[in-house]
Amino acid sequence: MTITYPDPFKIVVTDPGVYAPQHDSRLLIEALQKTNLAPGRHVLDLCTGSGVVAVAAAQLGALSVTAIDICPRAVRCARANAASAGVRVNVEMGSLTDEPARGSFDVVLGNPPYVPTGPEAAGTEKIPLETGPAWAWNAGDDGRLVLDPLCAAAPGLLTDGGTMLIVQSEFSGVEQSLRDLRSRGLCAEILMWQWVPFGPVLSARAQWLERVGRLEERRREEELVVIRADKAT
Ligand SMILES: C[S@@+](CC[C@H](N)C(=O)[O-])C[C@H]1O[C@@H](n2cnc3c(N)ncnc32)[C@H](O)[C@@H]1O
């Protein structure tokens, strides 16, 4: 018998202080569905925001779901969304760099901030409030401010045989993530990718990216990828 669950995108609500689920959130959830990794597993959702990915993991049959975020507003929002969805998610406030102390997980999911942050971020950008707070996307000049510690933490977070799925943009060093994860003994590959139109943040940074030679003129689409990293048994 196939059980169908309500689309977490239709359940989850956010406020201007929390990242509104977008293409990256949906791609990560699709990857979780495609790989069928959730059923019966202990899942950790890093950078949970509204909790949309954590809710999906619980709906897909995870044995337990832990979700963390550095932002207290996101923590409250994710708790409320899990309650509305009628699923159990243990939402805690914390940084992913605290995680190694928390034990090991069969599945680790992450949609971290990964947007390169140019000089416009200093205050001249016009980004609609509903997009969420700057700390949900700003990730330093190379977009790796959170991705680097996330890759470094991966082996310590995963059980033997465990899997991490992370989503990131082409603009934040996909090859670097793959190299980093492999150098830590994980088997890493690109699992899924999708071209999506620029959202409000990249639109505001497009001219800077063009100026510094990281974007072809007039291109206004980015490639998102989901990386799968497996720890040996
Ligand atoms: C791109 S949003 C993703 C939200 C949600 N997982 C989704 O897919 O829609 C990134 C989230 O990471 C959180 N965050 C930023 N730095 C963090 C860190 N060092 N540790 C944990 N969470 C972090 C932000 O508060 C934000 O909620």
- Say what the pTM is: 0.94
Residue 17 lies in a domain: no
Q: In this structure, is residue 185 part of a structural domain?
A: yes
pLDDT at 14: 77
Q: Is residue 8 part of a domain?
A: no
| Ligand 1 midpoint to CA 165 (Å) | 14
Q: Whose CA is nearest to atom 8 of ligand 1?
A: 25
What does the block give as tokens for 135? 């700390």
User: Given the CA of residue 24, which atom of ligand 1 is nearest to it?
Assistant: 8
Query: Which of 47, 144, 151, 226 has most ligand 1 atoms within 8 Å of CB, for mutation?
Result: 47
Domain that holds residue 124: 23-230
What is the distance, to the nearest Å, from the Cα of residue 139 to the centroid of all Cα atoms in its chain?
A: 13
What is the rounded average pLDDT of the residues 116-137? 80
Mean pLDDT of 111-120: 90
**Alpha-carbon distances, residue 55 vs 11, 15, 48, 87 (angstroms):** 9, 17, 10, 7
Domain for residue 1, yes or no? no
In a domain, 72, yes or no: yes
Q: How much distance in Å is there from the Cα of 1 to the middle of ligand 1?
A: 35
DSSP state of 73: H
What is the arithmetic mean of pLDDT over 161-187?
98
Question: Does pLDDT of 150 surpass 80?
Answer: yes
Q: Is a pLDDT exceeding 90 seen at residue 160?
A: yes
Do residues 106 and 77 lie in contact, with contact meaning Cβ atoms separated by under 8 Å?
no
Closest ligand 1 atom to residue 74 Cα is 27
Integer Rg of the chain from CA:
17
CATH code, 191: 3.40.50.150
Determine, yes or no, domain membership for 15. no
Compute the distance from residue 96 Cα to the ligand 1 centre, in Å.
9
Least confident of 60-74, 81-95, 110-124: 110-124
Q: Is the pLDDT of residue 15 over 50?
A: yes
